[in-house]
Structure 1
Amino acid sequence: MTLQDVPRSPDLRRSLALAVLVLAAFAIGTAEFVVMGLLPDMAADLSVSIPAAGMLVTGYALGVVLGGPPLAILTGRMADKRTLTLLVGVFVVGNIACALAPDYWSLLVARCITATVHGAFFGAALTVAGGLARPGREGRAIALVFSGVTLANVAGVPLGTMLGQWADWRAVFGVVALIGTVALVGIRLAVPRGVARPGVRMLGELSVLRDREVLRALAITVFGFGGVFTLFTYIAPILTERSGLAPEWVGPVLTLMGVGATCGLALAGWMADRSARRALLILLGALVVAFLGFALFMDTALAAVAGVFLIAVFGFGATAPLQSFAMQAAAAAPRLGGTFNQSAFNLGNAGGAALGGGLIGLGAGYGMVAVAAALVAAVAILLLMGAPRR
């Protein structure tokens, strides 16, 4: 059975179901990224160094990469609504464990366990979103769910950082768990049964990894999004050291970045409904140009801010067609394909950050980091040009 065979839901229930998926995505996105704004506070409270506290971010990313696919396989025979209920439930318990963690190591373990549900959640949630959408609007539904992560960066992370600084970092995880609980209740009440079919046999799903085009789609995600984090991981020191912005302006620029990401997702969802491949060629091509322009003009504050906005539009906008492209390539197992693609996103995040950090460590300079980001995205375009049209 394909997504086209899934019965469509009445408009109101469809909208409510998509809304609770966005809320769950918002909670998961906030939990993933808020630690970056709270590292000094958490390091001081847990009596560890900043690099050790940074492992709370790295450990989460590794949990997504390594834990998502096996968990998706284990839940492969469950209906997607039941899967979502289970995964969001684990997410809620995991964040409660983070809030109550007595020491650094227990917090790190709780973060890693919580991260394992990340990829599997999005694999199932995006399959459900495609099933809820009207025919020909699947890309927009996928982009809408992704907007929950974008909203987490625009609002969840800044507000969580302020809450953690005002009260305590543990309170942030408590609030995230509360939001997750609301989303969990919403999934139980609003997501219709049968909106997406139960998964096929586990080995049947896993066999999609023998498909060259599935592997190509995952590689396109790694390189297509890896370029974004090659640069954006170090955007704060670039803005202050090269562009001449005062530190207090970094927050507003990052908020503007989130606005750009939201605009990009709205545009990309519409484009992906027509052709995910064509949308990616346009967005990734524009992203390469934006990276190179940023490399040339980062010393001018206004140009640098404009560059951040454009890179966010094209880079984060590409996430929806990247996900659609991967799910189309893995049409026989869209849930597992979507989960593996979430691992590919996080592998790109980690690899891009390592590449940018390595260049900085070698003294190459921030301009070369932006050029490297363009080259990474260009690899994705080359891979995409060899993919069949769909």
Structure 2
Amino acid sequence: MNPRVFILAIATFVVGTVELIIGGTLDLIAQDLQVSISSAGQLITIFSLAFAISAPILLHMTRRMERKSLYLYTLAIFFLSNVLAAISPTYSILMVARILSAASSSLLVVLSITIAASIVDPAYRGRAIGIIFMGISGSLVLGVPVGLALGNAFGWRAPFWLIAGLSILSILCLLFFLPKVETPAPVPLREQFAILKDKKIVGALFTSLFMLTGHLTLYAYFTPYLKSTMGVEANTLGLIYFLFGLAAVAGGGAGGWFADKWGAVKAILLIVPIFAIVMSALPFATNSLPVFLVMMVIWSALSWAISPAQQHYLIRSSPAAPDIPLGLNTSALHLGIAFGSIAGGMVIEQSSVIYTPWVGAMFVLLSFGCAIFSITRPIRQGAEATRQAVSNQTA
């Protein structure tokens, strides 16, 4: 495995932290900037929406730039956005900082995936992508708890200063250790939109969207779910989230190994239905905390295990221009986060939080249907020809 993949994973860890960190300090932000908790919560919503919209647009605008230079420039903007967040005197300026942070993050995540996939041998591509997603899921384990501790000790601005400092370290590491990366041939905008006519790609994008919608239907309200069904106390909540994060990191790595060992298609067809089954079974395990924790660990691991296989699948389905579907997939994932939060909220308003796992599992079943639809569609003729050419070159 190319050691530069791990440097990219560390940079992605830093990027992933900024999206997750804000949730634990909303009360501090609301108090300091004199806004309501619900208004502070919009800082999360705007991040997800800006992330989803920015990825394909920025990929097109920067299509002619050499990838290492683009990565460094984008990381510099990410650094500045966090400095702006840390010094924001008003809610409006903090909102602008979050939008800039989301836009730069969206491009950095896609670049990390594509660069990692391009600097390793094809046989290790799934594992390389899995390592990148371990960086993202790793922020669940270390980034968020450290940020929350800093926020409680030194105020809500401290985590943003930490992220800004880590961004500088990432820039230095990538500047000296990442080689220049060949720029993919630019694809006209008309052809980029034409990819949405490819049923195979569209089916894969909806697979990601419904998978994340189902997951977030429960996960966005996991704390009230645990309190309502099991009466979990604050100290136990910390342990549960820590175990969830560890399982997510392990799942991201295991998903990459499965994609390489079995192939992306088999991995997707296995992971998605098991994920739905586990979500459906979670409510039946709430009578026993140890049993519930085992089920939760499997659920968490599978939620991240799908990502490397899905990214690998999209690269193989569109080898001529993998950046395009990967960018769209990043958008689909964040739309899924937003839709899942909305769906879970509707379930709570209309009935009870205890039903969120079952509603989430239904969305995951929709994801499985979309996956089958996509997999049974042929690769478009032009893409197939390019794939064969790439295979011949690497043979």
TM beyond 0.5:
yes
Greater Cα shift, 177-186 or 208-217: 208-217
Q: In the alignment, which residue of structure 2 is the partner of 1:3?
A: none
Pairs within 5 Å for 1:362-373:
362-363=350-351, 365-373=352-360
Q: In the alignment, which residue of structure 2 is the partner of 1:198?
A: 184
- In 2, Cα distance between equivalents of 1:171 and 1:216: 42
Maintained 8 Å contact 1:356/1:369 = yes
Correspondence 1:265 to 2:252: yes
Out of 225, 229, 233, which is 1:246 matched to?
Answer: 233
Q: In the alignment, which residue of structure 1 is the partner of 2:41?
A: 54
TM-superposition CA deviations, 1:299-342 (whole Å, max 9, x none): 43333322221110111211221222223223221112211111
Maintained 8 Å contact 2:243/2:297 = yes
Give the 4+ runs in structure 1 shifted more than 4 A: none
Q: How far 1:199 sits from its partner (Å)?
A: 4.1
TM-superposition CA deviations, 1:154-203 (whole Å, max 9, x none): 00000100001101211110110111111112222111113x43342342
Maintained 8 Å contact 2:82/2:101 = yes
Correspondence 1:326 to 2:283: no
Matched residue SS, 1:387: helix
Correspondence 1:345 to 2:333: yes
Maintained 8 Å contact 2:255/2:304 = no
Scaled by the length of structure 1, the TM-score of the pair is 0.92
Correspondence 1:304 to 2:296: no
Maintained 8 Å contact 1:77/1:201 = no
- In 1, Cα distance between equivalents of 2:293 and 2:350: 26
Q: In the alignment, which residue of structure 2 is the partner of 1:97?
A: 84
Matched residue SS, 1:386: helix
Out of 144, 149, 167, which is 2:136 matched to?
Answer: 149
- In 2, Cα distance between equivalents of 1:241 and 1:247: 13
TM-superposition CA deviations, 1:255-288 (whole Å, max 9, x none): 1001111121121101112311210111111111
Greater Cα shift, 282-291 or 325-334: 325-334
- In 1, Cα distance between equivalents of 2:277 and 2:124: 29
- Give the 3 Å change call, closer, same or farther, for CA 355–184 of structure 1 in structure 2: same
Q: How far 1:289 sits from its partner (Å)?
A: 1.1
Correspondence 1:225 to 2:204: no
Matched residue SS, 1:265: helix
Letter in 1 for 2:211: G
Q: How far 1:387 sits from its partner (Å)?
A: 2.5
- Structure 1: gaps (5+ residues): 1-10
Q: In the alignment, which residue of structure 2 is the partner of 1:128?
A: 115
TM-superposition CA deviations, 1:67-102 (whole Å, max 9, x none): 221111101111211221121111111111111111
Letter in 1 for 2:187: R
Matched residue SS, 1:354: helix
Q: How far 1:233 sits from its partner (Å)?
A: 0.6
Out of 65, 90, 97, which is 1:110 matched to?
Answer: 97
- In 2, Cα distance between equivalents of 1:43 and 1:325: 42
Correspondence 1:185 to 2:172: yes
Q: How far 1:228 sits from its partner (Å)?
A: 1.1
Maintained 8 Å contact 2:74/2:108 = yes
- Give the 3 Å change call, closer, same or farther, for CA 362–316 of structure 1 in structure 2: same
- Identity across matched positions, percent: 26
Maintained 8 Å contact 2:217/2:360 = yes
Aligned residues between the structures: 375
CA RMSD of aligned residues (A): 1.6
Letter in 1 for 2:266: R
Out of 261, 270, 277, which is 1:289 matched to?
Answer: 277
Scaled by the length of structure 2, the TM-score of the pair is 0.91
Maintained 8 Å contact 2:7/2:174 = yes
Greater Cα shift, 75-84 or 323-332: 323-332
- Structure 2: gaps (5+ residues): 380-395
- In 2, Cα distance between equivalents of 1:21 and 1:251: 28
- In 1, Cα distance between equivalents of 2:366 and 2:118: 32
Maintained 8 Å contact 1:222/1:345 = yes
Q: In the alignment, which residue of structure 2 is the partner of 1:26?
A: 13
TM-superposition CA deviations, 1:47-74 (whole Å, max 9, x none): 1111000011111001101122111110
- In 2, Cα distance between equivalents of 1:123 and 1:35: 22
Maintained 8 Å contact 2:72/2:175 = yes
- Give the 3 Å change call, closer, same or farther, for CA 290–380 of structure 1 in structure 2: same
Greater Cα shift, 139-148 or 198-207: 198-207
Letter in 1 for 2:370: L
- In 2, Cα distance between equivalents of 1:127 and 1:206: 20
Maintained 8 Å contact 2:126/2:257 = yes
Pairs within 5 Å for 1:369-380:
369-380=356-367
Letter in 1 for 2:37: I
- In 1, Cα distance between equivalents of 2:30 and 2:216: 24
Q: In the alignment, which residue of structure 2 is the partner of 1:174?
A: 161
- In 1, Cα distance between equivalents of 2:325 and 2:173: 25
- Give the 3 Å change call, closer, same or farther, for CA 175–326 of structure 1 in structure 2: same
Letter in 1 for 2:129: I
Matched residue SS, 2:227: helix
Maintained 8 Å contact 1:291/1:371 = yes
Pairs within 5 Å for 1:68-107:
68-107=55-94
